Structure 1
């Protein structure tokens, strides 16, 4: 019979894939409590600074190189859209790492609160956490797998074209203009290794940050679900009813604070994601329609399009769930035994506060929701049809 995991151990097990990826790109929060000595902390900090410099340098350098290649091919619509697609992905990864670097304190508090919720909750509350969060951890694993497949497709395809198909043209995984003849050895091999490294880091950034956002937002929604359960259990004839409601009010305030802190971390990432997704879906769709006979490139950009849409859906779905669960507090009060109770007025105040649900926004411009997801897809399709018409006329 397998040993039953404690709440903290269960959380550590669930978060492990996300933690591994975010540690790879140094966005997992640094906790000094994990280090025994000041010397150990200094070594880790030094390694982290060097790691950040390598990651940011690669992402920015490759993004600019691909952008320069797009400028050189300004007149060719297919070449330009391909370069814009890849450059925006690298530069978006660059800004994501920057944002998480400056939000490291908030990220550390968020992770500590998540583990504390799992470690200190009752078994009944943990069931609610599993019900609300369990699917998000599975979805995060699936998204990580899809990004890994996409990155491998991009990195391996040029080599397969040479080895398997016998192509004489030496292409790089992500294009780019470097001011030298990139087709000659050993320059080609060095640049190939550089782009493979950049692709691995870029893929880890996309998968790690997005999956982190997913599981933290869904955890925030689960906190409100647990609170709904606690409110519904308050009975009028219970002598502790006032104390129980007071505890629920404090729990509500903590849940709102957690969601607000999460919004502060994610809102700029969400804005970049929503703006870039509009272009990515549009450009990837254009690339797919222009290379229906090129099986290798068709597979690459089909997987890219699927990952872009999936990533946008993850942001939208989790944000929508948070708004629904936090707003549900207003209705959960009716499930308690409030008729003729002494705590009715206090419950009413909490319900009134819940009419303004917690939300994750795109830098306060619009909310992350399933409605915004459909809007972005509709806008992307409109841009796609316009670009395709321009390309056909050209």
Structure 2
């Protein structure tokens, strides 16, 4: 059903993170072009998922507008509503950009991905870095499980099965009476719970594939740096005299052209990656600062909060901060690896090289010119932006946390002023 993307070695298939399975279940994964019947059914399912998330957000927004005067209820409801809005935009973006998504994965499979069969330190480091996303996945999975299960615990031990009003995973106002029968209640509960599951799984699945792309792009930069360091070494020469010089220069020039070609492919992929993800990253960074502020406010002010809700908000803020940190740290790693290329090029013994029989030769003008242009190109950092407004880096992470603290201080001042 789903297209298997091939590495440049045709017998090797691309191994994607296990979290991408949820993108397939949510209808966000690009299908092959030659599956019209399954494609129609899959597209219908994808739009149902988007619609279910959108309807659930409308129910939450209705509750939000109804209780705007209560700052505690408003901030609590904003946490889930804004999270829903963020991932509604993500689902819509993935659905409307299927062709770009497919091209991005195809280019990654052909030019960037390094299969485990290479069995070198760079591949091992890439696999190790992906463990961070498994931790983030675990936190977010715990969060949605608590949202779906805690209301059922309250129903059995607090409200009672005979109660007219029964709890839902999120605070919502419905255009109908969901309590009129058990069938309505169960169907509404399942509908809104699954919408929340789609929201959270889309969040960690898309972040995982984004981190997967950046991790292996950084790995390709490291591999490129190793090849640059070997550019003027290990040239096997079988002749003597001027033939040594000619052979060495030709071999070095051929190596350099391969390095330049690989460098250009990495840059092109990073530009395509940035072009695809930057709208989502802008929405993510904008909403993250508000989410962290409001969840922190709930933790500080919720003295009479049910212990399950308190744990839920602790997990929520941990997930939000870790998700933001992981994205910014990966963007920062890409910046560092790309700009390091210029330093590696400058330190690769371009001024001269030693060959067999200890013959020292000056690098040709042609090679030096290629190196100059490549150094000039490498001084422009390869970066991922939030729709050109902000660069994804650790500086962005600290700026967002600072903004969240400012919002939190203002919100807390308003809350205590109202109490007085």
TM-score, normalization by structure 1: 0.90
Counterpart position of 1:175: 171
Q: 1:198 to 1:122 in 2, by over 3 A?
A: closer
1:203-242 CA-partner distances (Å, limit 9, x unpaired): 1111111111111122222222211111111016634100
The equivalent of 1:357 in structure 2 is 381
User: Contact 1:171 / 1:183 at 8 angstroms: preserved in 2?
Assistant: no
Match among 193, 203, 210 for residue 200 of structure 2: 203
Provide the residue aligned with 1:221 in structure 2: 218
CA distance in 2, matches of 1:79, 1:222: 46
Alignment-derived partner of residue 3 in structure 1: none
Deviation at 1:101, TM superposition (A): 2.2
- Deviation of the 1:95 alpha carbon: 0.8
- CA offset digits 1:34-87 (Å, max 9, x no partner): xxxx5xx01221122111211110111111110111000011001111222211
Structure 1 residues 387, 207: CA separation in 2 closer, same or farther (over 3 Å shift)? same
Q: SS of the counterpart of 1:320?
A: helix
For normalisation by structure 2, the TM-score amounts to 0.85
Match of 1:35 in 2: none
> Does 2:376 match 1:382?
no
Query: Does 1:134 find its partner at 2:127?
Result: yes
| 1:281 aligned partner | 292
Counterpart of 1:190?
Answer: 187
Q: Per-residue CA shift, 1:96-117, capped at 9, x if unaligned?
A: 0121223322322332233334
Equivalent positions of 1:1-394 (< 5 A) are 12-13=14-15, 15-32=16-33, 38=34, 41-116=35-110, 117-118=112-113, 123=118, 127-131=121-125, 133-165=126-158, 170-186=166-182, 187-235=184-232, 238=248, 239-293=250-304, 294-339=306-351, 340-342=362-364, 343-394=367-418
Distance change >3 Å, CA 10–CA 154, structure 1 → 2: farther
Q: Which runs of 5+ in 1 are unaligned?
A: 1-5, 33-37
Structure 1 position 122, deviation (Å): 8.6
Q: Whole-Å Cα distance in 2 between the matches of residues 335 and 183 of structure 1?
A: 72
Matched-pair contact (CA < 8 Å) for 2:14–2:115:
no
Deviation at 1:255, TM superposition (A): 0.5
Structure 1 residue 120, shift from structure 2 partner: 7.6
Corresponding residue of 2:241: none
SS in 2 for 1:240: helix
Q: Which has the larger radius of gyration?
A: 2
CA distance 1:148–1:361, change in 2 (3 Å): same
Mark the CA change 1:94 to 1:234 in structure 2 (over 3 Å): closer, same or farther. same
User: Cα deviation per residue 1:245-269 (whole Å; 9 max; x = unaligned)?
Assistant: 0111111110000000000111011
Distance across 2 between alignment mates of 1:346 and 1:269: 37
| CA–CA separation in structure 2 for the residues paired with 1:258 and 1:362 | 17
Q: Write 1 or 2 for the structure with the bigger share of helix.
A: 1
SS of alignment partner, residue 345 of structure 2: helix
**Equivalent position SS for 1:17:** coil
Deviations 1:294-347 (A, max 9, x none): 211111111111111111111101100111111111011134231131212211
Which SS does the other structure have where 2:377 is aligned? helix
Q: Which runs of 5+ in 2 are unaligned?
A: 1-7, 236-247, 352-361
Provide the rounded CA distance (Å) in 1 between the counterparts of 2:254 and 2:93. Answer: 41
